[in-house]
Chains A and B, each alone.
Chain A
Amino acid sequence: MFRLNLKIALRNLWRNKVSSFINVIGLAIGLAACLMLLLYVTYEWNFDKQAKESANVFTTMTNIPGDNGKISGTFEGSTTAFGPAIKQDIPEIQYTARMDYGAKNLIANGQNSFKRISKFAEPDLLKMYDYEFVQGDPKTALNNPNSVVLTTNTAKILFGSTDVINKTIRFKDRFDLNITGVIKDQPDNSSNKFDYLMPWSFYETIDERAKSLNWENYSYTTLVRLKTGANLKLVNQKIYNVLKKNTNDNYQSQVLFPLSALHLNGKFEEGKSVGGAIEQIYLFMALALGILLIACINFMNMATAKSEKRAKEVGIKKTIGANRGSLVIQFLTESMMLTFIAVIFAVAILEIFLPTFNQLLNIKLSMSYFDKGSWLGILGIVFITGLIAGSYPAFYLSSFNPIQTLKRKIKSGGLFSISLRQVLVVGQFCFAIVLIISTLVIYRQIQYIKNKPVGFDVNALVEIPQDGELKTKYDVLRAQLLKSGAVTAMFQSSVSLSHRGQNFMDIQWEGMTKPDNTQLFNQVSTTYDFIKTNGIKLIEGRDFLEKFASDSVGVMVSASAVKTFGYKNPVGKTVTVFGDKYHIIGVFNDYVWDSPYKSNHPMVVFFDQRRTGNITMRLNENNSLQSNIETINRITKSINPAYPLEINFLNALYSEKYNTEKTLGVLSNLFGGLAIFVSCLGLFGLVAYSAEQRTKEFGVRKVLGASVSNLMKLLSLSFIKMIIVAIFISAPISYYAMGKWLNKFEFHTEISWWIIPVAAFGTLLMAVITVSFQAYKTANANPVDALKYE
C-alpha cells in the first residue's frame, strides 16, 4: 500500500508539473530559510555550552548604582579581590578564575611576529572550559609564571607546526615565555576566545594593578564554577555578605550570572537580565517560520483548488473499500514526499548561500553532514512541514461523500474552503507587506543615523595603536611625522575617538546641590593638538597648548558636561575629579562615539602623557593617500620595529557602527523578498487553476462577445481584492510595530507617510503582473478549444 501510494504520488507530481514546481520551489525556499535558522540558532544557543560542566559555570556581573538606590547599569566585570574572597568564604564555590578581558598583543617567534589576542587567567579556567590539549598537560600548563598555552592556529602561524612544547616565544617584545601546551582552536561561539593564554601569576609580575587585591578596579572578569546542585540565589546572597564585609557598598555590587546565558541575554535593567541578542533570534525564527508557512499555505491552496479533480479519486476509492484513514495517509504521503524533494533542493540552496549568509552575519556556520543530530533535525522539519502542508487537504479531501463526488455535484471546494483559501492568501500577503514596510523603515533609520553629523570630519583621519616603543617615543614619532609632511596634526589619547573611554562618577563641581554625582561621565586622556587634529568644534576656550605649563591641571569638557554642571561661563571654573581639582580650559561640541543611536555621556578630557593607548593622525590631503600611508609606515617601523603597523581609518570604524542595523535591514530585505516571491508563486498557481476550471465558462463568454480585457478583469479581480484586504490589515500592524522598534533608539526617524503606499503599490504591482500573465493566456485562448470538451 505504502509503495503504491508513493508511486502514485510521484506520478501525480510528474503530471502536474506547474503546481509541483510551485510547491517544490516554494517549500525549498521556506525549508532553506528554516535550515539556515536551525544552524544559526544552534550556533547561538550553544554559546559557551561546549564544556561538560558549562551549566555550573558563572561569570561575575557588576552593578552600577544609580539614583534612589536603583541600579543604573550592569556589565561583565569584577575586581581582583573578589574571586579569592568568595572562594574562601563560600563552600559552594568549587573553582574561580580571574582573567583580563583579553587584548591584541604582540607575540613573536624570532622575526616572525604577530599581534594576536592574548589572555591572562588563573589555572582553574581549564576546569571551566574543556580545552582539548593537543600537546602538553592541562594540570601543569599554567603553573609556572613564564609559561604560555597556544591555540593550534597560533602555533601553526608562529612555528608552522603544533610540535612546539618547550619552545620559546617572545611576548610584547619584552618577555620570553616557555610554551607548555597547545590546545585545539576554540569554537567560534565562545565568549572567552584567545589566541594564546598566559598564567595570571605572570600577569601579576608585569602589572602592579593585577597583583594588588583591590575592590575598586573593575577591569577584570571572574569566572566561577559552582558545585553541582548549588543554589545560585543562595550563593549570590552569600556573595552579598562577603561584599558587605569587605566594601562600603550598601547594595549588591557584584553578582554571579550563568556564563552560557550571557551571550543571548546580555541586556540588563536594574540588575535583572531583560533579554538581548535573543530578541534577534526570535525575530529571525519568526521570519524563517513565516516563509515556511507561506510555502505550506501554497501547498494547501493548490491542493484544495485541485479538489474537484481529486474528489473523483476519493469517491472511487471509497466505493472499492478505502476508509478515511487510508486516504488521509495517502494524501499525507504525497505532501511528505513533496517536502522531501523540496528539502533536497533546500540543502542545495543552503550550501550555495551559506557563505554569503555567514559574511552577512559575520559568523561561521556550516552544515555538518556527518552529524546524526542535523539529519534528525532535517527529517523532523520535513515531517512537521509535510504534516502542516498536507493536513488540511488530507482531512478535507478525505471527508468527501462518494456519491456527490461521482455525480460531480461538488462545487469547487464548497463555500467554506473558498473562504479559507482567501483567508490564507490574505495572510500570506499580510506577512509579505509587513516585511516590506519594515525593510523600508529600517533602511530609512540607518540612512537617518548615517546622515546625522558625527561632529567632526572623519575623512583623512587614521589611528594606530600605541604599542611598544611608541609609548615612550611618541614625541620622536610626532616630530618626524609632522616633518615628513604626511600628517598635518596628531595626538595621543587613552582611547580611540570612536570608542568609549572609562566611565566614572566621582566628580564634583561648583554649586553642586546633590551630595553625590549620579551621572556617568566618560573620560579620555590626551596630550596636545586634540582639537586641532580631530576638528571637533570648539565652543569656548582653547586646546591643550605646549606653552601653558598649567595645562596638566586643565580639562576640556563637552557641551553636555557644561549643561550637567550648570555653568554659565565655564572656562576658568573648576571641577574636582577623584579628589583633584581641575580648571576648565575649553568646551567642545558633543560628537558621536560608542553608539550613534543614543546621546552619549558627558565627557571630560584630561591632559595626561602617561595614559597612552592610541595615536590619531590627520593625513595631509595634498599628498596621495598611498604615499601618506607609506611614509607613516616607514617612520613608525623605524621607531618601533618589533610591531607590525595597523592603520585604521576612522570612516571605516564609524561605518562599522551601523552593522547590527544593516544586518537587520539586509535580513528583512532578503526575507521580505522571499516572502513576496513565494506568495506570488502561490498566487500564480491559484490563478492557473482557477483559469483551468473556468475554461469552459470563458469559452462561452467569448462566444457571446466578451473581450480579452473583460475576461482578464473577471479572472484577476477576485485575487486583486484579496491583496487589497491584505494591505489594509498589514499597514496598521507594521506601522505600530515599526513605531515601537524606532522608539528603541534615542535618535530615530519618523515613519514617512509615503512608505505605506510604496509598499502597497509595490506588492499590488507584483500581484497584478503575476495574475494578468496567466489571465491573458487564458482569455486569449481560442474558444473552440475550450468548448470542444464535454
Chain B
Amino acid sequence: MIQLNNIEKYYANKGIKNYVLRLVTTTIKKGEFVSIMGPSGAGKSTLLNIIGMLEEPTYGTYEFLGEDVTSLNERKRIERYRNHIGFVFQAYHLIDEMTVYENIEAPLLYKKVGSAERASRIADLLDRFNIVAKKDLFPNQLSGGQQQLVGIARALAAQPSIILADEPTGNLQSAQAEEIMTLFKKLNQEDGITIIQVTHSEKNAQYGNRILHIADGVVKEDITVA
C-alpha cells in the first residue's frame, strides 16, 4: 500500500543542510498497524507527514496505492484526503465552532455524500463510540479523551483505508490512552484499517504489529511484534 524509496528530507540553512530524514526505504502493507518510535527530533513526525502528503520529501519517491504521489498538486492531494486517508492529531484539532455532530459530518460534506447516507454513518459512529449524548456539544465542553474519540470518529467518517495518527494519546491520561489504543487495535483487526501512529510510549507501540525505530533520521530497527 505504501512504498517509500530513499526518502530524504533536509532544511537548508545558510548553505548547511540539516537532515531530518536520510534514505528511508520501507514498505507498509494493507492491514498493518505500524508504530513509529524514536527520541524527540528523530524525524518521526516528518516521516508521518510525508506519508500523509502534508510535506514533500526533498529526495526520493513515494508510492501510495501503486501510484507515484511524491509531488501531487493540491487538488489531487485533497482527493486522497477525501477518500483514503484519515488524520488523528495529538491536539485533536477539532473545529471549535462546530458541534461534535458537525465535526464528524464535515469530511462527508466535502466528499459530497448524500444527506441520508451522512446521517446514517454519523449515527453509526456516534453509537459505536458511545458519544450520542454529546453530539450537540462543542469541543471545549468535552474532556480530552472524548475529544480524541470525536477526532477518531471524524477520521473514520469518510471510511478511509488508512489512519495516520501523530501521538494520538500524547495529551491524554493513561486510562483514556488505553481506551484509544484498544479502539485502534479493534479498528485494525476487525475493520482491516491500516494504521500508522507516531508514539513515544513502548506500551502503546505494543498494540500494533510492527515498530519502526527512528533515530537521527535513519530507520534503526524494523521489528515485527508478535
Task: Please tell me if the beta carbons of B106 and A323 are within 8 angstroms of each other in the complex.
Answer: no
Encoded as 1 (CB less than 8 Å from any B CB) or 0, chain A from 1 to 31 comes to: 1001001100110010000000000000000
Encoded as 1 (CB less than 8 Å from any A CB) or 0, chain B from 88 to 105 comes to: 010001111110001001
Supply 17 further A-B pairs (C-beta < 8 A) apart from A15-B97, A320-B154.
A4-B109, A11-B97, A313-B95, A315-B93, A317-B106, A317-B110, A319-B81, A320-B107, A320-B155, A321-B158, A322-B78, A322-B110, A323-B74, A323-B110, A402-B54, A403-B54, A406-B93
Encoded as 1 (CB less than 8 Å from any B CB) or 0, chain A from 46 to 70 comes to: 0000000000000000000000000
Residue among B55, B110, B111, B155 with the highest chain A CB neighbour number at 10 A: B110
Residue of B nearest to A316 (CB): B93
Instruction: Tell me, yes or no, whether A318 is within 8 Å of chain B by CB.
Output: yes
Q: Indicate which residue in A12, A312, A315, A324 contacts B74 across the interface (CB closer than 8 Å).
A: A324
- Residues in chain B within 8 A of chain A (CB atoms): 49, 52, 54-55, 74-75, 78, 81-82, 87, 89, 93-98, 102, 105-107, 109-111, 154-155, 158
Instruction: Tell me, yes or no, whether A480 is within 8 Å of chain B by CB.
Output: no
B188 vs chain A, min Cβ distance (A): 21
Instruction: Tell me, yes or no, whether A422 is within 8 Å of chain B by CB.
Output: no
Task: Please tell me if the beta carbons of A312 and B93 are within 8 angstroms of each other in the complex.
Answer: yes
Cβ of A11: which chain B residues have Cβ within 8 Å of it? 97
Cβ of B52: which chain A residues have Cβ within 8 Å of it? 319
Task: Please tell me if the beta carbons of A406 and B89 are within 8 angstroms of each other in the complex.
Answer: yes
Instruction: Tell me, yes or no, whether A326 is within 8 Å of chain B by CB.
Output: yes
Cβ of B95: which chain A residues have Cβ within 8 Å of it? 313, 316-317
Task: Please tell me if the beta carbons of A321 and B82 are within 8 angstroms of each other in the complex.
Answer: yes
A324 CA / B158 CA spacing, docked (Å): 19
A313 CA / B109 CA spacing, docked (Å): 16
A7 CA / B97 CA spacing, docked (Å): 9
A315 CA / B55 CA spacing, docked (Å): 13
A11 CA / B98 CA spacing, docked (Å): 9
A287 CA / B94 CA spacing, docked (Å): 44
Cβ of A15: which chain B residues have Cβ within 8 Å of it? 97
- Residues in chain A within 8 A of chain B (CB atoms): 1, 4, 7-8, 11-12, 15, 312-313, 315-324, 326, 402-403, 406
Residue of B nearest to A1 (CB): B109
A402 CA / B52 CA spacing, docked (Å): 11
Query: What would 5 A/B residue contacts be, using CB atoms closer than 8 Å?
Result: A12-B97, A318-B78, A323-B78, A323-B110, A326-B110
Cβ of B110: which chain A residues have Cβ within 8 Å of it? 317, 320-323, 326
Cβ of B49: which chain A residues have Cβ within 8 Å of it? 403
Cβ of A313: which chain B residues have Cβ within 8 Å of it? 95-97
B125 vs chain A, min Cβ distance (A): 14
A316 CA / B97 CA spacing, docked (Å): 13
Residue of B nearest to A315 (CB): B93
Q: Indicate which residue in B96, B97, B98, B107 contacts A321 across the interface (CB closer than 8 Å).
A: B107
Shortest 9 CB-CB contacts between residues of A and residues of B: A321-B82, A321-B110, A403-B54, A320-B107, A321-B81, A319-B87, A316-B93, A8-B97, A323-B78
Cβ of A402: which chain B residues have Cβ within 8 Å of it? 54
A406 CA / B91 CA spacing, docked (Å): 9
A319 CA / B107 CA spacing, docked (Å): 9
Residue of A nearest to B55 (CB): A403
A393 vs chain B, min Cβ distance (A): 16
A1 CA / B107 CA spacing, docked (Å): 11
Residue among A317, A326, A402, A403 with the highest chain B CB neighbour number at 10 A: A402
Cβ of B87: which chain A residues have Cβ within 8 Å of it? 319-320
Task: Please tell me if the beta carbons of B106 and A320 are within 8 angstroms of each other in the complex.
Answer: yes
Cβ of B105: which chain A residues have Cβ within 8 Å of it? 4
Residue of A nearest to B98 (CB): A8
Cβ of B102: which chain A residues have Cβ within 8 Å of it? 4, 7-8
Whether A321 touches B93, Cβ cut-off 8 Å, given contacts A1-B109, A4-B102, is no
B157 vs chain A, min Cβ distance (A): 8
A402 CA / B56 CA spacing, docked (Å): 13
B35 vs chain A, min Cβ distance (A): 21
Cβ of A403: which chain B residues have Cβ within 8 Å of it? 49, 54-55
A318 CA / B110 CA spacing, docked (Å): 10
Cβ of B89: which chain A residues have Cβ within 8 Å of it? 406
A1 CA / B118 CA spacing, docked (Å): 12
B176 vs chain A, min Cβ distance (A): 21
B43 vs chain A, min Cβ distance (A): 14
A347 vs chain B, min Cβ distance (A): 29
B164 vs chain A, min Cβ distance (A): 9
A15 CA / B75 CA spacing, docked (Å): 32
B103 vs chain A, min Cβ distance (A): 9
B129 vs chain A, min Cβ distance (A): 17
A409 vs chain B, min Cβ distance (A): 12
A322 CA / B105 CA spacing, docked (Å): 12
A323 CA / B82 CA spacing, docked (Å): 10
Cβ of A317: which chain B residues have Cβ within 8 Å of it? 95, 106, 110
A326 CA / B110 CA spacing, docked (Å): 8
Task: Please tell me if the beta carbons of B78 and A321 are within 8 angstroms of each other in the complex.
Answer: yes
Residue among A8, A11, A312, A320 with the highest chain B CB neighbour number at 10 A: A320
Cβ of B81: which chain A residues have Cβ within 8 Å of it? 318-321
A1 CA / B102 CA spacing, docked (Å): 10
A3 vs chain B, min Cβ distance (A): 10
B208 vs chain A, min Cβ distance (A): 22
A121 vs chain B, min Cβ distance (A): 67
Cβ of B97: which chain A residues have Cβ within 8 Å of it? 8, 11-12, 15, 313
Cβ of B96: which chain A residues have Cβ within 8 Å of it? 313
Task: Please tell me if the beta carbons of B54 and A319 are within 8 angstroms of each other in the complex.
Answer: yes
Residue of A nearest to B157 (CB): A320
A400 vs chain B, min Cβ distance (A): 11
Cβ of B107: which chain A residues have Cβ within 8 Å of it? 320-321
B105 vs chain A, min Cβ distance (A): 8
A146 vs chain B, min Cβ distance (A): 78
A73 vs chain B, min Cβ distance (A): 67
B122 vs chain A, min Cβ distance (A): 13
A440 vs chain B, min Cβ distance (A): 47
A320 CA / B106 CA spacing, docked (Å): 8
Residue of B nearest to A14 (CB): B97
Cβ of B82: which chain A residues have Cβ within 8 Å of it? 321
Cβ of B155: which chain A residues have Cβ within 8 Å of it? 320
Cβ of A322: which chain B residues have Cβ within 8 Å of it? 78, 106, 110
A345 vs chain B, min Cβ distance (A): 24
Cβ of A315: which chain B residues have Cβ within 8 Å of it? 93
A313 CA / B93 CA spacing, docked (Å): 8
Cβ of A1: which chain B residues have Cβ within 8 Å of it? 109
A406 CA / B110 CA spacing, docked (Å): 20
Cβ of B54: which chain A residues have Cβ within 8 Å of it? 319, 402-403
Cβ of B93: which chain A residues have Cβ within 8 Å of it? 312, 315-316, 406
A320 CA / B89 CA spacing, docked (Å): 12
A404 vs chain B, min Cβ distance (A): 9
A558 vs chain B, min Cβ distance (A): 77
Q: Indicate which residue in A7, A8, A319, A321 contacts B111 across the interface (CB closer than 8 Å).
A: A321
A322 CA / B81 CA spacing, docked (Å): 9
A15 CA / B87 CA spacing, docked (Å): 27
Cβ of B111: which chain A residues have Cβ within 8 Å of it? 321
Residue of B nearest to A326 (CB): B110
A435 vs chain B, min Cβ distance (A): 38
Residue of A nearest to B81 (CB): A321
Task: Please tell me if the beta carbons of B75 and A323 are within 8 angstroms of each other in the complex.
Answer: yes
A1 CA / B106 CA spacing, docked (Å): 8
Cβ of B158: which chain A residues have Cβ within 8 Å of it? 320-321
Residue of B nearest to A319 (CB): B87
Residue of A nearest to B46 (CB): A403
A403 CA / B56 CA spacing, docked (Å): 11
B173 vs chain A, min Cβ distance (A): 19
Residue among B82, B97, B107 with the highest chain A CB neighbour number at 10 A: B97
A15 CA / B140 CA spacing, docked (Å): 13
Cβ of A320: which chain B residues have Cβ within 8 Å of it? 81, 87, 106-107, 110, 154-155, 158
Residue of A nearest to B158 (CB): A321
Cβ of A12: which chain B residues have Cβ within 8 Å of it? 97
B57 vs chain A, min Cβ distance (A): 13
A322 CA / B110 CA spacing, docked (Å): 6
